[in-house]
Amino acid sequence: MIKKLTSSTLVAIALLNTASFAKEINVKILNLTSGIYFTPLLVSAHKSEAKLFAAGTPSSLNLQKMAEGGNISGLEADLSDANANSVSNPASGLLAPGKSTTVSITTDAGNDYLSIVAMMLPTNDGFVALNSVKIPDAKGVYMFALNAHDAGTEANDEIVNGGGAPDVAGIPADPSHSGNAVASTATGISSQKEGFISIHRGNIGDLSETGGASDLNAKLHRFLNPIASVIVEVK
């Protein structure tokens, strides 16, 4: 015997189907480095086609702006155009070494992929990233390790051109390179940009206060992957 579904039952089923596609998530980001700061973070739940970058390919202009100068507005606009659910600058500024920040996101239907990006200070065009990872469907707590990436748009000469934040060396994009050091390929410090997105090879630095091949401190600004951890709670 076939029973007719009442209008209230149909509404309940529709709401249930909608809820199955939406998610409520908490995202905690922890800076695992001892001397690297993250510029304002962009955290976004989006569709798979809204992926921000692909390793081994040239950087987009908006990704370059983020990686070289910490400007996330272009990427934020790209994600907004794709109807993503995004939170920008959850730490209200720099995320210092050893510190964490947490955001809560309610996703729209289909926004099943999570991305996180921010420039790393001090680097030339280095950035921390979680790149379009599928958000688990089952409720629970999940952990992801984040690597440092290189946008490939600027030479990793480690020459400081001012900028940054108080007591934090910054290397914003600046063709004049008015720092106090001279880049040297003999130490492995690059004088050429890669031209494609890759895993960052790390800062080299030196121990000289007034010269040397790098403006970065080898004891403070060296780092190894992973440089951040992300804990995602699916409610």
Strand partners, 198: 150
Q: What is the mean pLDDT of residues 205-231?
A: 90
Residue of 122, 198, 222 lying closest to 164 (CA atoms)? 122
Does the structure show a pLDDT above 50 at 65?
A: yes
Instruction: Give the Cα separation of 10 and 12 in Å (integer).
Output: 5
Query: Is it true that the peptide bond before 122 is cis, omega within 30 degrees of 0?
Result: yes
Which tops the pLDDT comparison, 38 or 160?
38
Using one digit for the tens of pLDDT, what is the confidence trace for 83-132? 999 999 999 999 999 999 999 999 999 999 999 999 999 999 999 999 99
CA atoms of 207 and 220, how far apart (whole Å): 10
Q: What is the arithmetic mean of pLDDT over 131-139? A: 96
- Give the pLDDT confidence score for residue 179 in this predicted structure: 35
Say if residues 160 and 169 touch (Cβ distance below 8 Å): yes
The CA distance from 92 to 119, in Å, is: 15
Q: Which domains does the chain have, with CATH numbers?
A: 36-234 (2.60.40)
Mean pLDDT of the chain: 85
pLDDT at 215: 87
Q: What is the pLDDT confidence band of residue 12, given thresholds at 50, 70 and 90?
A: very low
Residue 175 is predicted with a pLDDT of 38
The answer to whether the CB of 37 falls within 8 A of the CB of 221 is no
pLDDT grade, residue 210 (50/70/90)?
Answer: confident
pLDDT in tens, 168-207: 667 754 433 333 333 344 445 766 889 999 999 999 989 9
How many H-runs (helices) and E-runs (strands) does the chain carry? 3, 10
What gap in Å lies between CA 68 and CA 154, rounded to an integer?
A: 8
